Chain A
Amino acid sequence: GAGVSQSPRYKVAKRGQDVALRCDPISGHVSLFWYQQALGQGPEFLTYFQNEAQLDKSGLPSDRFFAERPEGSVSTLKIQRTQQEDSAVYLCASTRQRVTPWAEAFFGQGTRLTVV
């Protein structure tokens, strides 16, 4: 596609519900990132994939958060037993090549998750 696509754009979940957020990176992009952006703050790193391998998950805030990219393209971020503090915009980004300092990251529009 022309850009990084995320779905759904908006998600309202009841506390305790499980949610799954989808990211379609730009076709052929090797690296994929997930970020969490709380209201009024900058994005914070969650996890990173190179193809299907999850190489860094140091930013995942708890074991309720799980990400996968089984075929090296589409990725899913799953949050189990959602809590109010999980309310945020979840951003996905991809880069064409393996990670290098100069690789430009292209961002999707994000999924706004509200836990009620």
Chain B
Amino acid sequence: AQSVSQHNHHVILSEAASLELGCNYSYGGTVNLFWYVQYPGQHLQLLLKYFSGDPLVKGIKGFEAEFIKSKFSFNLRKPSVQWSDTAEYFCAVKGAAGNKLTFGGGTRVLVKP
């Protein structure tokens, strides 16, 4: 069975600080990896996704993530956060032939102005 682990439950940082959120997964085959974001009061939205090719993936709003196969990791980064990045972030994995997403527990990020 596949599983996803997000290392931090809560992160607090100031505007302009750099952000890195850890994500590790457990799955025996080819995986497809996702980061979703949920802003306060809104629905889950896709930030970025990885299927194949360049392991460094760029998404919306200046976010990027790096797939490191040897470490089973897919960490999310943003060089300089803004107050509007305050949200909950979810890492998710889907098997190559799969349909359903398996989510991590989420990381709540609070950016102080």
Contact = CB atoms under 8 A, between A and B. Distances in A.
Given A41-B106, A56-B99, A101-B32, 14 more contacts: A33-B100, A40-B105, A41-B105, A42-B6, A42-B90, A42-B106, A45-B100, A91-B44, A101-B97, A104-B46, A107-B36, A107-B43, A107-B44, A107-B45
Contact of A110 (B32, B43, B92, B106): B43
Main secondary structure of the interface of A (DSSP, over half): loop
B32 A42 contact: no
Contacts of B4: 42
A113 to B, nearest CB: 17
A38 B104 CA distance: 12
A48 B100 contact: yes
B29 to A, nearest CB: 11
Interface residues of A, number: 26
Interface residues of B, number: 27
Contacts of A110: 43
Given A40-B105, A48-B100, A101 B90 contact: no
Interface string A1-28: 0011000000000000000000000000
Interface string A27-64: 00001010100001111110010000001100100000
A90 B18 CA distance: 33
Contacts, number: 61
Contacts of A44: 103
Interface of B: 4, 6, 9, 32, 36, 42-46, 49, 51, 90, 92, 94-106
A31 to B, nearest CB: 7
B103 A109 contact: no
Nearest to B36: A107
B43 A3 contact: yes
A21 to B, nearest CB: 15
B39 to A, nearest CB: 11
A108 B51 contact: no
A115 interface: no
A43 B90 contact: yes
A74 interface: no
Contact of A56 (B96, B100, B105): B100
